[in-house]
Amino acid sequence: MTLNEKPIAHSERRSGAFYGRRKTQKLSPKQEALFETLLPRLKLDPTTPPPSNLDQVFAHSRVFLEIGFGGGEHLTHEARNNPDVGFIGVEPFINSMAKALSVIEQENLENIRLYDEDATGLLDWLPDDSIHRIDLLYPDPWHKKRHWKRRFLNPQNLDRFARILVPGGVLRFASDIETYVNWTLNHCDRHLEFNWTATVADDWRCPWENWPSTRYEKKAIREGRTPCYLLFKRQEQQ
Ligand SMILES: C[S@@+](CC[C@H](N)C(=O)[O-])C[C@H]1O[C@@H](n2cnc3c(N)ncnc32)[C@H](O)[C@@H]1O
């Protein structure tokens, strides 16, 4: 794909696919250069045969995946503070990817790999039982009921998550949109592989340890909405 991205054709879309615009602002020459030099070095390529495990990608024994990382504030914070973990970040919006690439380059963060298209293609390429944590932080809410089927969290993507998560692996979901929070609780409750871990209200009211927040969360709080943090575990035994 080129930087002058065409939208993904409707017929090519998968369930829970990317529906937004790929780019809104022209990239600076420096950002263009990062797309030509750094991104190809870090980008995972699902057109190649799927790996049998992630040893070929990371020297790290644990791998975390963040889907829709926006400007990458959370992804880079986590990578900086957990050098023993490998991180895969997915973000199809080009201006956001450009922000993350700048930070990765400036700080020489070596434990990040990237994917800049619809996450479902990558999910289907990743090996079984290979990911220790999946973060879906403030996914596009799709407020209107007729658009709810576009929400990234859906039964098909929960099946994809269950396949790639190690047994006991974690799915973290944050949102400020009550209908999406309830939607997620209902879908995970119906999915045999996922168990919600909350026991007291603070478990969903308070952010996780060392939480740096995200750009979208800060906006939500400024606008008076309340974040909710849900943590699910994949079953230990199959
Ligand atoms: C509301 S923003 C939140 C960004 C960031 N997580 C935050 O909290 O600031 C949702 C992000 O998900 C990305 N996204 C939407 N559909 C996606 C898909 N199918 N695969 C990967 N990312 C997707 C969008 O490009 C957007 O950056």
DSSP symbols for 45-76: -TTSPPPSSGGGT-S-SEEEEEES-TTSHHHH
pLDDT bin (cut points 50, 70, 90) of residue 17 is low
pLDDT, residue 16, reads 52
Nearest 5°: the CA angle 68, 6, 148 is 45
Residue 52 maps to a domain: no
Task: Give me the active site residues, please.
Answer: 140
User: Looking at the domain assignment, is residue 11 inside a domain?
Assistant: no
Residue with the smallest CA separation from ligand 1 atom 15 is: 18
- Nearest-angstrom CA–CA distance, 162 and 233: 10
66 CA distance to ligand 1 centroid (A)?
10
Residue of the CA atom closest to atom 13 of ligand 1 = 68
Q: Give a yes or no: residue 10 inside a domain.
A: no
Query: In which domain, by residue range, is 207 found?
Result: 29-44+60-234
The model scores a pTM over 0.85: yes
Mean pLDDT score, 12-27:
67
pLDDT confidence of residue 4: 40
Residue 19 placed within a domain = no
At 238, is the pLDDT very low, low, confident or very high (cuts 50, 70, 90)?
low
Query: What CATH number is attached to the domain comprising 35?
Result: 3.40.50.150
> What's the one-letter identity of residue 6?
K
Interval 28-56: pLDDT, tens: 999 999 999 999 999 999 999 999 999 98
Residue whose structure tokens are 């065409």: 6
pLDDT of residue 22: 77
The predicted-structure confidence for 110-137, as pLDDT tens digits, reads as follows: 999 999 999 999 999 999 999 999 999 9
Number of domains in the chain: 1
Q: What's the mean pLDDT in 203-226?
A: 97
Is residue 7 assigned to a domain? no
Going from the Cα of 118 to the center of ligand 1, the distance in angstroms, rounded, reads 10
Helix (H, G, I), strand (E, B) or coil at 110: coil
Closest listed residue to residue 119, CA positions, set 88, 82, 95: 88
**pLDDT at residue 54, rounded to an integer:** 94
20, part of any domain: no
* Encoded tokens for 66: 């963040």
Residue 16 forms part of a structural domain: no
- Kindly state the average pLDDT of the residues 95-121: 97
Pairing of strands 85-90, 112-115: parallel
3-class secondary structure, 100: helix
Flag whether pLDDT at 21 surpasses 70. no
Residue located nearest, by CA, to atom 27 of ligand 1: 70
In sequence order, which residues have a C-beta less than 8 Å from that of residue 208 and are 6 or more positions away? 172, 229, 231
Range with the poorest average pLDDT among 6-20, 102-116, 198-212: 6-20
pLDDT at 1 over 70: no
- Which of 93, 95, 136, 172 to mutate for ligand 1's pocket (most ligand atoms within 8 Å of CB)? 93
Judge whether 100 lies within some domain: yes
Summary mean pLDDT of the chain: 92
